[in-house]
Amino acid sequence: MDRRELFGFLSSSVKGEERNTQETIIRPPYYNDMSDFDKECRNCDGKCATLCQEQIIIISEDKTPRLTFSKSGCTYCDDCAIACKPNVLQVQNKRVIDAGIRINESTCMSWCGVMCFSCKDPCLENAIDFQAMFMPTINQEKCTSCGFCISRCPSLAIDTLALI
Ligand code: SF4
Ligand code: SF4
Ligand code: SF4
């Protein structure tokens, strides 16, 4: 996804579009070459997933790791990279997770007039801005795409989109 597509995704919440149902594949934030997943992970026992304390790495059917934010988020702890012996993931390649995060106005309770701060509290970056205690939006300058806010939303109003 290029920057124009990303902007379209992020700004579409303003237009109140439907929840994003597109399947997204979000990789752990330590890879260098995307093709390494296909080359190396097939023959690996998936220690990255085993050692992720947040349990957000799942090994897909193709045996490559992907992130899920359905229960928790990424602390950027480096454990998955340290565990990866084939060096698909390496600490030196640490980066912001390749995912856009947005709040869907049509399903967000706060945008519908009900006071709710469920997403604000878990955000350690203070990256969710409220206008007069309502209408939350993600501050893209601050958001690290950690995903911690996603599972805390009672109305499943926070979407992700992989940027790769
Ligand atoms: S950095 Fe830590 S929390 Fe994030 S995916 Fe890797 S092991 Fe899990
Ligand atoms: S530990 Fe490394 S090689 Fe193994 S599945 Fe995870 S990313 Fe792939
Ligand atoms: S994904 Fe962004 S907005 Fe959500 S908790 Fe993480 S930093 Fe905050």
Categorize the per-residue pLDDT at 5 as very low, low, confident or very high, splitting at 50, 70 and 90: low
* Sign (positive or negative) of CA dihedral 61, 66, 68, 73: positive
Categorize the per-residue pLDDT at 21 as very low, low, confident or very high, splitting at 50, 70 and 90: very low
- Rounded to the nearest angstrom, the distance between the alpha carbon of 39 and the centre of ligand 3 is 31
Q: Which atom of ligand 1 is nearest to the CA of 55?
A: 8
pTM: 0.88
Residue 53: which CATH number? 3.30.70.20
Q: What is the DSSP letter of 89?
A: B
**Statement to judge: residues 60 and 104 lie in one domain:** no
Q: What is the pLDDT of residues 82-98, one digit of tens each?
A: 999 999 999 999 999 99
89 beta partners? 31
CA-closest candidate to residue 65, choices 54, 73, 57, 77: 57
CA-closest candidate to residue 38, choices 63, 8, 69: 63
Q: What is the pLDDT of residues 107-161, one digit of tens each?
A: 999 999 999 999 999 999 999 999 999 999 999 999 999 999 999 999 999 999 8
**Statement to judge: residues 107 and 151 lie in one domain:** yes
Instruction: Examine residue 137 and state whether it is found in any structural domain, yes or no.
Output: yes
